[in-house]
Amino acid sequence: MNPPEVFTLADLESWQATGPCLAVLGHPIAHSLSPAMHHAALALLAADEPGFGSWRYFKFDVPAETLAQALPVFHAKGFLGLNLTIPHKVLAVGLIERVDPAAAETGAVNTLRRTPAGFEGFNTDSHGITRAVADAFGLSLRGADVILLGAGGAARAAAVACLRERCASLWIGNRSAGNLDNLLQTLRPAAASHGGELRGFAPASPPDGLPRDALVINATSAGLKPGDASPIDLSRLRGRPRVYDMIYNPRETPLLRQAAALGLESANGLSMLAHQGARALELWTGRNVDASAMLDACARALAKS
Ligand code: NDP
């Protein structure tokens, strides 16, 4: 089967809607699994409410420098909702009508919902990681000791989820010290209001004080490309950490391979993708959405890609 078509801003100018439209915007975007998982969930909704049968979800290649120009056109063309992925999540915060307070805490939005005046922005990645960790390990972030790797947009959403859920401690490690310091500064108010210990460290030399039996969350891109090194050496951590890698393609990263070799519980990021998508669709439709159907659709689409 051919992958679903990728549209551009030029296509949008002449867009003729045949029904309610949703889309994911990113650059690059060709390999996004979002249309497959949203169409699977919409088909389930349509079984009970046939109106959802005419909803369609598209993917648009939108480079960062054209986002400001693109968003008003998506609004004018009647799009009900948009997902944003790399490189738009932080940039969009300053371009939309309203930002949900929980999303403002993360400084990033990945889901936009139409209002008459413009789009309002939400961050469903925080929900996605919270639910994914519960699914994978039967573990609540509440009271957990978390070692989070990365200081980009995904790490920011995960950090806010950990603090909001009142984790016991949050240790953030990142390759670049400057980006780590910026993230720690940004998170100080959330740490102060939610409680919990917030510390930074250099992943190349994990300090002795890192918690035992921690939940390790990889929110770096290390492992996406063949030949990438692991973002941390798991054998240097104490106890038996559980390892959640947000990367889902490839299904097994060097980090997950090492976790398996050490006999540690681990999971890749496919369930986070499904849960953040399910919450987005709930925001657009006002209905409960079956995340497991979205997860199955992602797995099928990935197997075909
Ligand atoms: P960003 O570009 O915002 O951040 C990238 C982060 O990865 C930075 O902290 C960067 O460190 C670090 N990094 C990049 N390359 C390496 C490397 N070779 N070694 C160590 N660290 C590295 O990306 P996002 O935060 O948006 O996404 C991060 C990852 O999370 C991606 O793989 C993405 O696919 C995944 N993701 C998965 C989701 C899901 O639903 N499963 C949802 C969102 C993201 P530095 O500061 O030093 O540059």
Tens digit of pLDDT for each residue in 170-191?
999 999 999 999 999 999 998 9
Residues in the chain: 305
pLDDT at 75: 97
Cα 216 to middle of ligand 1, angstroms? 15
Structure-token pair, residue 9: 């801003």
Distance CA 88, CA 110 (A): 8
Residues of the chain with pLDDT under 70: 1-4
Give the atom of ligand 1 at the shortest distance from the alpha carbon of 176. 47
Please name every residue paired with 198 in a beta bridge, in sequence order, or none if there are none: 170
User: What type of residue sits at position 205?
Assistant: S
Sign of CA dihedral 136, 137, 140, 141: negative
pLDDT at 2: 45
pLDDT at 4: 57
Q: In this predicted model, what pLDDT tens digit does every residue of 56-66 receive, in sequence order?
A: 999 999 999 99
Please name every residue paired with 173 in a beta bridge, in sequence order, or none if there are none: 149, 201
Cα 174 to middle of ligand 1, angstroms? 10
pLDDT at 18: 80
Give the atom of ligand 1 at the shortest distance from the alpha carbon of 128. 40
**Of these residues, 59, 77, 89, 225, which one is catalytic?**
89
Structure-token pair, residue 44: 């389930």
Mean pLDDT for the chain? 95
Does residue 89 have an active-site annotation? yes
| pTM for this entry | 0.96
Q: Whose CA is nearest to atom 31 of ligand 1?
A: 221
Cα 39 to middle of ligand 1, angstroms? 27
Query: Which run of H or E residues covers position 38?
Result: helix 34-48
pLDDT at 124: 98
Q: In this predicted model, what pLDDT tens digit does every residue of 125-148 receive, in sequence order?
A: 999 999 999 999 999 999 999 999
CA nearest to 167, candidates 153, 147, 137: 147
Sign of CA dihedral 270, 272, 278, 281: negative
